[in-house]
Amino acid sequence: MNPLDMIERRIRELPTLPLVAQRVVGLLDNPNSSAADLEQVIKHDQALTARVLRLVNSAYYGYPRHITTVGQAIVILGYKTLKELVLSISITDLFRMKGGARVFNRAALWQHAVATAIGARILTRRAGLPFEEDVFIAGLLHDIGIIILDLCLKTEFDEIANLVTAGGMPLIRAEEKVLGFNHAQVGRMVAEKWNFPSFLVEVIRYHHRPVQTRNHWLAAALVFLADNLAQETGVGFLEGYDAGPDFTTTVWTWLELKPEQKPEVLQRIKEELRGAVEFLALCSKEHEI
């Protein structure tokens, strides 16, 4: 069986998303959903409620008064932010699953995902675009294909990881060299399996090559740029730069942003990451499953 067939079979065998995550994805895709709908999703899961309240009271959100109920959290942080948070909590089991590769750190990938999500939100705000929470979630999920490769193809993924760490080859090129396909393609397959909104499917598929997307090029460009900036922070998993500096500069101009803003944006990402200790701890080594 060739590697792609093995991936396709394993994806068919994947369980569906947890019920809470399914409901939150449904809220993401429903323009008529409300804060009351989200509150009901959270309140029906006691463990989730506890984790939400722990995080909304963390330094990452910086609210001075202790928040004691989900209703308060929604009022204070807002519906969109709570939706981000609940889906973030719901997907962290993916990052805690034990993979097969010997040289790959799953917790570092989670750190990179959070840095990318933060960067995408900051860039979206700077560009004056209206979908901050959508690109935050896309940033968290953009590398889910890497997790599946690690789970399914131990020998091949070790070879890929060695090409990246020892050979300095960008991850996506190492994947294409060894497998003939890459984690962005695998990520699309997983996103479709889990019935993600088309927006997320397309951004996950084209986050390395936003010029190829048809319907959501702005969001794909934001996640592409945030992915690169996350690597420049030096935090978490470093997959190497697939695109050259000229193309990256072009993406800045697509977004009507200036490359001269990069140092300020990088500093802001680092500051938010320093406050995100508990958020990052959702995927810690001692909680691997």
How much is the pLDDT for 169?
93
How far apart are alpha carbons 92 and 209 in whole angstroms? 26
Its pTM stands at: 0.86
| 177 or 83, greater pLDDT | 177
Domain encompassing residue 273 = 3-287
Which of the residue ranges 64-68, 176-180, 264-268 would you say has the lowest mean pLDDT?
64-68
Q: Whole-angstrom distance between the N-terminal and C-terminal Cα of the chain?
A: 28
**Confidence at 126, pLDDT banded by 50, 70, 90:** very high
How far apart are alpha carbons 50 and 155 in whole angstroms? 39
Residues 59-68: what's their mean pLDDT? 84
Count: domains in the chain: 1
How much is the pLDDT for 130?
87
Contact by Cβ (8 Å): 86, 38: yes
Helix (H) or strand (E) holding 48: helix 46-56
The CATH number that applies at residue 107 is: 1.10.3210.10
Query: What are the tens digits of pLDDT across the range 233-272?
Result: 988 888 888 888 888 899 999 999 999 999 999 999 999 9
Q: Does residue 15 carry a pLDDT above 70?
A: no
Q: Give the percent of the chain with pLDDT over 70.
A: 92
How far apart are alpha carbons 225 and 64 in whole angstroms? 33
Query: What are the tens digits of pLDDT across the range 38-53?
Result: 888 888 888 888 888 8
